[in-house]
Chain A
Amino acid sequence: MAPGAASARDTDWDGVRLHVVTGKGGTGKTTVASALALALAGEGRRVLLAEVEGRQGISQTFDVAPLASVEARIAHAAQGGEVFGLSVDAKAALLEYLHMYYKLGRAGGLLEKFGAIDFATTIAPGVRDVLLIGKVYEAVRRRKEHRAKGPGAAPAYDAVVLDAPPTGRVARFLNVNHEVADLARVGPIRSQADSITAMLRSPQTVVHVVTLLEEMPVQETVDAIAELRAVGMPVGGVVVNQVRATILAPKALKTAARSAISRKDVAAALTRVKVRATDAIVDGLLAEARDHAERVALEHDAAMVIEDLRRPIYRLPSLSDGVDANGIRELAEALVAQGMA
């Protein structure tokens, strides 16, 4: 990055304009995408956070009115930074696209009336994805002012964060070129797909994967990264979400794992501080310690698999009060502290 450019800090993803966030369902993909958008918006930047599945996950996370296919500001960040939200709708994107490139006028309405728009956005394979990413592509490339057009004009957004489909579908979603290749060998859809692909494969784009320290999400992360690489998409960082603190000291963990904690000692210590050391309580505490040790061991295995991916790793704590607008800010700060933004 040039000296004196927008960020005074060094981050791991300087120069990246489009951050795609994916992850297995239930890992907190939308939460992480939201936190990343807020983190990127620090230092007075403008960031767009887009979702493409119509789930309204972003508006629920930020506790704002449901997003429409028009960009709306959803949060303020440090030093005048702003996060805008957008729920990309394939139909709106197609009509906008047709209007922009073909000046359709009456034909647009007719297409709608004949069901052609529904057809193109629901069943024509690949077309839907091209439209959805196409809208994101347009937002990444958009310049600030119409009159200041040209290479000199500043981008409308300093960064765009895409809350993408889950790991199982993301490679296919991003690989739009392949999707339409068989269907449209030439023509405008094809050239649109080509420009999108060029941007997605450029250093301007990275795909981050969100996971938990559990077997299935980690396995899906490994699979998704392999698939993304196979289709030439730049893989970003791995965000380990909902990391819980290890409460027992390493030595105690080992003892607990062997079920070798002395009942008698624990009962004596409890009695000293006037906790009634009934069998139920002592055995219960020991069982909890053993379960905890088992889980820590599993999490350790999962963490090793993630390490082996050799990608930058970011860890977000498990929020005890659940994720709300304040929780998102806490997570955003954690991402900034770890250099993701």
Chain B
Amino acid sequence: MAPVLDIDALLDDPQTRIIVCCGAGGVGKTTVAAALGLRAAESGRQVVVLTIDPARRLAQSLGLTTLDNTPRPVEGIDDTHSGSLDAMMLDMKRTFDEVVMAHAAPDKAEQILANPFYQAVSSSFAGTQEYMAMEKLGQLRLEADRDPDNPRWDLIVVDTPPSRSALDFLDAPKRLGSFLDGRFIRLLVAPARVGGRAYLKVFSAGVNIVTTTMTKVLGGQMLTDVQTFVAALDTMFGGFRQRADHTYALLSDSTTKFIVVAAPERDALREASYFVDRLDDEGMPLAGLVVNRVYRVSAPGLSAARALSAAEELDEDENGSSSGVPAGVSDSTAITQGLLRLHAVQAEIAGRHQSLARRFIAGHPGIPTVEVPAAAQDIHDMVGLRAVGEALAGS
């Protein structure tokens, strides 16, 4: 039996400052993040939820009608315990632009923002979203801590980007950092600087081949653009690696807790397995696992097999007592048969969900887990989020 993930203890602990929800796409990460934020706020914490790509109606229910990259108060929460809830949706391009403007001189910033490479990297580079989500998290944390006596937020809940590969957001800062520190970049920025005198001859022969080939493949103008872009970023991100390290340290801090969200499906659970192992490898603080949308039947006392056989018996019963005319099946008998067959199908799904979840738990003993029952409808209002929050807390 796996330990139960005590959500309320986690949310009530003032030592919990950041909660990161991660998991495969389509498992309900954003909903879980929003529900956690709401529950924490209604129990008295000052919360901000950073979402990446919320469903339209969920976004509307959080008051996120404009994508302006700034936290906005969420209306309609119960503030009896003096809590508050802000929410924001990440705009990765704008976040990147802000980073540029904050760290470069105005004329330089303008030059970077206009560079076609920058424009493409900031809006479509695989990994930019992950990096910017982490950048924004760092910004929110700074903002939260600005006045230690009166913190604007004491809990940040982050929903992670729907990365194709697990934990891309952990790798993104490092990837961008190592790219900018890379040998190739230095080569592009200042070909003349490469290598000492002794190596010059051998080395510049290699450099020449490389630059000639690059020009041949990419075209000269593109190479010039790259050089401008890289030079600009290089001067700007003097301490780029430092920033990446800082984000990483923030994530591995003991006041940060990771929650892995999964759905009771083979693929989603496999991905969750990967997340759990990877977080463990990186020494990231894992709070536990949420198995979302677990199907449950309302009449657990009746087995699928019994329901099916009862439905068949009703057939025989009816045909035996009437003259065998199909129309003789009464409405109420037909409805009851339908209910029994429906129950049999649902009980089978519920059983499958249970066994998938159980197998995962058996494979990861000791990881606190909580199941959230599947709702009949999509969740897109405060009432729905509150219900998910209650289910998360096991009440």
Bound pair: A and B? yes
> In the bound complex, what is the Cα–Cα distance between A115 and B184 (angstroms)?
5
> In the bound complex, what is the Cα–Cα distance between A268 and B332 (angstroms)?
9
Residues of A at under 8 Å CB distance from B? 24-27, 53-55, 60, 98, 102, 104, 106-107, 110-111, 113-116, 118-120, 122-128, 165-166, 168, 172, 179, 182-190, 214-216, 219, 245, 247-249, 251-252, 255, 261-262, 265-266, 268-270, 272-275, 278, 280-281, 283-289, 291-292, 294-295, 298, 320, 322-323
What B residues does A280 contact at CB under 8 A? 299, 301
Pick from B116, B300, B346, B376: contact of A182, CB under 8 Å = B116
Residue pair A266, B213 in contact (C-beta under 8 Å): no
How many residue pairs between the two chains, A and B, have CB atoms under 8 Å in the bound complex?
227
21 inter-chain pairs at a CB distance below 8 angstroms, sorted by A residue, are A25-B162, A26-B26, A27-B26, A53-B164, A54-B164, A106-B209, A114-B187, A114-B206, A114-B210, A115-B184, A116-B210, A125-B124, A128-B126, A166-B162, A183-B117, A186-B219, A247-B342, A284-B297, A288-B346, A294-B377, A295-B377
Residue pair B25, A166 in contact (C-beta under 8 Å): yes
In residues 10-44 of chain B, which contact A (Cβ within 8 Å)? 24-27
> In the bound complex, what is the Cα–Cα distance between A215 and B185 (angstroms)?
45
| Chain A binding surface SS class | helix
Residue of A nearest to B212 (CB): A107
Distance in Å: Cβ of A310 to nearest Cβ of chain B: 23
What A residues does B339 contact at CB under 8 A? 248, 261, 266, 285-286, 288-289
Distance in Å: Cβ of A297 to nearest Cβ of chain B: 10
| Chain B binding surface SS class | helix
Residues of B at under 8 Å CB distance from A? 24-27, 53, 55-57, 116-117, 119-121, 124-127, 162, 164-165, 175, 179, 182-185, 187, 206-207, 209-210, 212-214, 216-222, 225-226, 263, 265-268, 270, 297-302, 306-307, 310, 313-314, 317, 331-343, 345-346, 348, 352, 376-378
**Given A183-B222, A269-B337, A288-B346, list of 13 further CB < 8 A pairs?**
A53-B165, A110-B213, A114-B183, A119-B185, A126-B120, A183-B120, A184-B221, A185-B219, A215-B55, A266-B339, A281-B299, A284-B343, A289-B339
Residue pair A288, B335 in contact (C-beta under 8 Å): no
Residue of A nearest to B225 (CB): A183
> In the bound complex, what is the Cα–Cα distance between A330 and B176 (angstroms)?
44
What A residues does B212 contact at CB under 8 A? 107
Residue pair A116, B214 in contact (C-beta under 8 Å): yes
What A residues does B120 contact at CB under 8 A? 125-126, 179, 182-183
With A102-B216, A273-B310, A285-B343 as contacts: A216 and B338 at CB distance below 8 Å: no
What A residues does B124 contact at CB under 8 A? 125-126, 172, 179
> In the bound complex, what is the Cα–Cα distance between A179 and B348 (angstroms)?
48
Distance in Å: Cβ of A181 to nearest Cβ of chain B: 9
Residue of A nearest to B219 (CB): A187
Distance in Å: Cβ of A326 to nearest Cβ of chain B: 14
Residue among B119, B263, B345 having the largest count of chain A Cβ atoms under 10 Å: B345
Residue pair A281, B302 in contact (C-beta under 8 Å): yes
Residue pair A189, B376 in contact (C-beta under 8 Å): no
With A25-B24, A25-B25, A286-B339 as contacts: A189 and B222 at CB distance below 8 Å: yes
What B residues does A288 contact at CB under 8 A? 297-299, 339, 342-343, 346
What A residues does B268 contact at CB under 8 A? 26
Residue pair A119, B57 in contact (C-beta under 8 Å): no
Pick from A185, A215, A294: contact of B221, CB under 8 Å = A185
Residue pair B184, A214 in contact (C-beta under 8 Å): no
Residue pair B216, A188 in contact (C-beta under 8 Å): yes
Residue pair A187, B342 in contact (C-beta under 8 Å): no
What B residues does A292 contact at CB under 8 A? 342, 346
Residue pair A266, B336 in contact (C-beta under 8 Å): yes
Residue pair A269, B336 in contact (C-beta under 8 Å): yes
Residue pair B184, A114 in contact (C-beta under 8 Å): yes
Pick from A122, A189, A215: contact of B218, CB under 8 Å = A189
> In the bound complex, what is the Cα–Cα distance between A322 and B266 (angstroms)?
8
Residue pair A115, B183 in contact (C-beta under 8 Å): yes
With A123-B121, A273-B313, A284-B299 as contacts: A187 and B182 at CB distance below 8 Å: no
What A residues does B162 contact at CB under 8 A? 25, 166, 168
What B residues does A251 contact at CB under 8 A? 331
> In the bound complex, what is the Cα–Cα distance between A113 and B164 (angstroms)?
28
Residue pair A184, B335 in contact (C-beta under 8 Å): no
Pick from B182, B334, B343, B378: contact of A249, CB under 8 Å = B334
Residue of B nearest to A125 (CB): B120
> In the bound complex, what is the Cα–Cα distance between A150 and B216 (angstroms)?
28
Residue pair B310, A189 in contact (C-beta under 8 Å): no
> In the bound complex, what is the Cα–Cα distance between A120 and B25 (angstroms)?
27
Residue of B nearest to A295 (CB): B376
Residue pair B378, A184 in contact (C-beta under 8 Å): no
Residue pair B210, A107 in contact (C-beta under 8 Å): yes
Residue of A nearest to B375 (CB): A291
What A residues does B299 contact at CB under 8 A? 280-281, 283-285, 287-288
